[in-house]
Chains A and B, each alone.
Chain A
Amino acid sequence: MELLQCIDLNKSFGEKQILKNINLTIPRGKIIGLLGKNGTGKSTLIKLINDLLTISSGQILINGKPIGVESKKIISYLPERTYLDKGMTVEKTIKYFANFYENFDSEKAYKLLEDLGLDANQKLAKMSKGMQEKVQLILVMSRKADLYILDEPLGGVDPATRDYILDTILTNFNDGASVIISTHLISDVERILDNVIFIDKGQIILTAEADELRNREDASIDEIFRRMFKC
């Protein structure tokens, strides 16, 4: 059974259609890049998978079942914005995650915090946006999930930290799990991708294995992307 399937998926806001007839399958054990320019529907697709938007038509199946409590147990999602209760300390936030997610590993979270030099007793409100994003990444990667969905994990982060974030993702995701990384910063993530999905104007225009695509086009994914989406 496929981990994630989108079947004839459509999403509209009023008259405006954002996603058009998306058909997509995500296999297990792969790192997949969901690549596209800004405003092409990447985040909308991710929000639909995470039950943050209602489907206009079509279906999303996780392990063969519609989105619901069971799918939320196995999906670990990092949104592009800071979403934690800023009145809480990092420690309380870790307790919160441990309370609600059975697959949350508190020890791993504390270890990652230490590695990053973050103070568990500090309130999130007192932290910079970058620090809060790091805390969020730690919380998401400390879950033993089947599917990690990371929406623009490198957005607004300096190049040195980008490498650290990518290494954290690479070394911390659960064995046999898949990772979907949505980004427009392709050159930064290219090295870790197994598969790529190109999305434009709400439609999937290409799905391929990263190595196969590179060999076929004799170019990097970044170059292929630039060629395809040239303004």
Chain B
Amino acid sequence: MLGKLLKYDLKSIFKLLIIFYTLSMLFGLLTRVFFSFRNSLVLEILGEISQGAAISMMCSTLINNIMRMWVRFKTHFYGDESYLTHTLPVEKRTHYLSKILTTVITLFVSFAVICLVLFTAYYSKENLLFFKNLLLPLVEIYDSTILGIIASFVFILFLEFINILQCGFTGIILGNRKNNAKTGFSVLFGAAAFFVSQVIIIAVLFLIAIFNKDFMNLFVTNNVMEIQTIKIMIYVSISCYTLVSLLICYINIRLFKKGVDVD
């Protein structure tokens, strides 16, 4: 059943995202074309406009990805369509997992499209060298590779998006348990869930700091930390973020299993 739900969820989300993917690619391509003619002021202005449009489309892709998932979650579980959703012979947990997996897949594709747009718009030997030089200090500091740095950054961003999305789901589930002002309460509970998740991450770091003097410097001094400590802190943060995301997922499934009150 999960596969069937996933198929319909993915179709619904990609139906919208494909518009943003196409526009991002189009503006990325135009940026490249216009910037290749450096001897015309008009084409350079058009290039700047295309560049702005491509960047805004890439941002819109990510924002719409999240927003669309929240809207689908609300309409599917609490709107008119919920009369069908909740009467399907499917476990509530399966419904929830389908939404999470849809987000993971669509976000992954969105990130891939953004990388492709950036590559289309800006790839050249000079730009690649410039980008490498920009990242080299980080590579040296973290004793990593360029790919490792980019992968870590994208992974943290990915976790952050999943966390934001799930906090939104928590808000929608809790908000719709209220008899009035459901949307207002959904936003409030969603923001509260996000705040709590961040506090948990900081609390875990503080707990570790109690037993690690170098970590404690992060909380009690302005001193720059040792590279090794920063590296450990990043790994701990990524682990915490993953665990918090899993915890929110577990809580949401438990809340969801208790049942819904559809208008």
Contacts and interface: CB of A to CB of B under 8 A. Distances in A.
Which of A52, A55, A87 has the largest count of B CB atoms less than 10 A from its CB?
Answer: A52
A84 B79 CA distance: 11
Given A52-B82, A83-B80, A83-B83, A100 B260 contact: no
A87 B15 CA distance: 11
Interface string B70-91: 0000000000111110111111
B253 to A, nearest CB: 15
Given A52-B82, A81-B83, A100-B1, A47 B89 contact: no
Contact of B81 (A51, A69, A72, A83): A83
A54 B260 contact: yes
Contact of B86 (A13, A51, A87): A51
7 contacts: A79-B83, A82-B80, A83-B80, A87-B15, A100-B1, A100-B88, A101-B88
Contact of B87 (A50, A70, A87): A50
Interface in A54-102: 54-55, 69-70, 72-73, 75, 77, 79, 81-85, 87, 96, 99-101
A159 interface: no
B262 interface: yes
Interface of A: 13-14, 47, 50-55, 69-70, 72-73, 75, 77, 79, 81-85, 87, 96, 99-101
Which of B4, B83, B88, B179 has the largest count of A CB atoms less than 10 A from its CB?
Answer: B83
Which of A51, A84, A100 has the largest count of B CB atoms less than 10 A from its CB?
Answer: A100
Given A13-B179, A53-B261, A72 B87 contact: yes
Contact of A69 (B4, B91, B259): B91
Interface in B78-114: 80-84, 86-91
Given A14-B179, A77-B87, A81-B83, A54 B4 contact: no
A14 B89 CA distance: 29
Contacts of A52: 82-83, 86-87, 260-262
A72 B8 CA distance: 20
A222 B18 CA distance: 55
B90 to A, nearest CB: 7
Interface string B223-263: 00000000000000000000000000000000000111110
B87 A75 contact: yes
Interface in B11-34: 12, 15
Contacts of B89: 69-70, 72-73, 100-101
A96 B83 CA distance: 15
A175 to B, nearest CB: 21
Contacts of A69: 89-91
A86 B8 CA distance: 14
A73 B90 CA distance: 9
Contacts of B258: 54
A50 B262 CA distance: 11
A51 B80 contact: no
B74 to A, nearest CB: 14
B4 A99 contact: yes
Contacts of A70: 89
A101 B1 CA distance: 11
Contacts of A77: 83, 87
B259 A51 contact: yes
Given A47-B262, A51-B259, 18 more contacts: A13-B179, A50-B83, A52-B82, A52-B83, A53-B260, A54-B260, A54-B261, A55-B259, A72-B90, A73-B89, A82-B80, A84-B81, A84-B84, A85-B81, A87-B15, A100-B1, A100-B90, A101-B88
